[in-house]
Amino acid sequence: MEERRYVAVIDFGSQYTQLIVRRVRELGFLAKLHALEDFDSLEEPGAIILSGGPRSTSEEGAPDIDFRRLQEYGVPVLGICYGMQLLNIKFGGTVEASDRREYGPATLNPECREGLFEGVSKDSQVWMSHSDTVNELADGCRVIARNQDGTPVSLQWGDSFFGIQFHPEVTHSHEGLQVLRNFLDQAKGLQQFRIEDFKQELLAQIRERVGEKQVVCGVSGGVDSTVLAVLLKESGIRMRAIFVDHGLLRKAEGDEVRENFRRMGVDIETVEASERFLGELAGVTDPERKREIIGNLFIEVFWDSVGDADMLAQGTLYPDVIESASNDKTKASKIKTHHNRVDRILELQAEGKVLEPLAELFKDEVRELGLSLGIEHDIVHRHPFPGPGLAVRCPGEVTVDRLRIIQECDAIFIGCLRSYGWYDRVWQAYAALVPVRTVGVKGDERSYEFAVSLRAVVSEDAMTADWAELPCEILRDSSNRILNEVPGVNRVLYDVSTKPPASIEWE
């Protein structure tokens, strides 16, 4: 495979770092995220972006970078927030701690409309998130933009080193994409990112790695595992796809999953294990313990069905890889709570026999890949569904009756979203049980029944999310139907929490 010159994003710990990678890909170029510890061994970067971070450059042990090595790469460099402050120090300037944190919108006033700010309007809104500020500029450094108070918010050193004190990757920076585009225009020979080309590379890599071995994969009906299974089938390798029905699915979802795979021409083997899962979960209320039970039992049931396998394929995505990471060098090998808790999988990982073809993709890119594989729109655009299933939407003990309530309420809510044309307009929607009995009136009698919370969010990739401002008619119809059709519920709530600070799921 030909060498790529890609955009290397160096992670200094910003909550927005993944978004930088996404934005670069949206602009059509290949980008990869690297831990700071891997900086000295980058392979053919065409441009380097230093992310922001929560630390202060004046702290003892603050993240640092090999400046000589950075210069030796000989490519354009962009420092964002912490990255800009660090560059200013490396070039001989100073940074000082501020007595207040600047967080939120600010006005960008470019000093000139060329280079980094070509096509960027005056008084453009940008998003700040920092506490330290640049104090003294290094010799040869020039200010190329200021904020509304005249404070420098963008610096340039020489022809190829740039710094910005705002986050161009977030949507609150209205012309942030233009700033990133202008920076990438400084680079030469960047590899373009096209999903069709990426698909062909993935297929070739799968065939080369697998050869005549047999690969087994678990499928849930979700977008990730579905695209994975179809990709493996398209590659022509020997594969088995196994669907474990753990009883924590949405209403009639098992039948829907089987029908969808039939439509795609992928044979799957179904393992019915709902009684076993519910038995293990009986009496358990701690959310992490529930996840652990489900994760471990799923793998046990899965491997009992497999018997043995030459290789295992997993639908791990790029956010999974990064979120599962710690700050040390072992972060790439760590998986979320409900992944890889059985020795056999760890053995396969150690032997290099775990296949994760989607590990460089975000969710929307996986959907795009699925469409390029011929998967139909309604399957590719199913809402995300958590690995532990409805257990994470059932705080407290998971019981048959509580699952019934969630399934029925969820089916009504999703049905209303579809009938009003809103299903594809939200990232994810569901009903969750509020494990508190509230007083109500049904007929002429008081009732003490559960409350249900409806949640619908808009997001690009689940790293951040806002609650969806659904039309009142959808909420009214959903509430009326739930209260009239689902026994055990006498109150319906709508969740208006953003992520952060809340998560999308309840547990």
User: Which amino acid would we find at residue 19?
Assistant: L
Residue 416 among the catalytic residues: no
Closest by Cα among 456, 444, 447 to 486: 447
d(Cα 402, Cα 405) in Å, to the nearest integer?
A: 5
- Residue among 157, 5, 187 nearest 79 (CA): 157
Residue with the two structure tokens 């900086």: 39
Q: Which of 81, 141, 394, 409 is catalytic?
A: 81
Strands (E) located in 305-427: 311-313, 354-355
Task: Give 465's DSSP letter.
Answer: B
Q: Quick one: CA dihedral 295, 301, 306, 307, positive or negative?
A: positive
Give the chain's length. Answer: 507
CB atoms within 10 A of CB 40: 11
Other CB atoms within a 10 A radius of the CB of residue 265 amount to 9
Give 273-328 as a DSSP string. -HHHHHHHHTT---HHHHHHHHHHHHHHHHHHHH---SEEE----HHHHHHT--SS
Q: CA dihedral in degrees (188, 193, 199, 202; nearest 10)?
A: 60
Q: Given 72, 96, 111, 167, which residue is catalytic?
A: 167
Phi, psi of 499 (to 5 degrees): -115, 125
Told to judge if 81 belongs to the known catalytic residues of this protein, a careful annotator would answer: yes
Say how far apart CA 254 and CA 245 lie, in whole Å.
7
Q: Report the C-alpha gap between 279 and 402 in whole angstroms.
A: 14
As to burial, measured by CB atoms within 10 angstroms (0-12 exposed, 13-18 middle, 19+ buried), residue 148 is: exposed
Active-site residue identified among 130, 141, 169, 416: 169
Q: Are strands 445-458 and 489-494 parallel, antiparallel or unpaired?
A: parallel
Round to whole Å and give the CA distance between 243 and 230: 14
Contact 122, 112 (CB under 8 A): no
Q: Among candidates 249, 257, 460, which has minimal Cα distance to 378? A: 257
Give the H/E segment covering residue 259.
helix 253-264
Active site residue 167: yes
**Side chain identity at residue 9, one-letter code:** V
Cis before 501? omega within 30:
yes
446: Cβ–Cβ under 8 A, 6 or more apart, which residues? 439, 440
* Alpha-carbon gap, residue 179 to 116, rounded angstroms: 6
- Kindly list the catalytic residues: 81, 167, 169
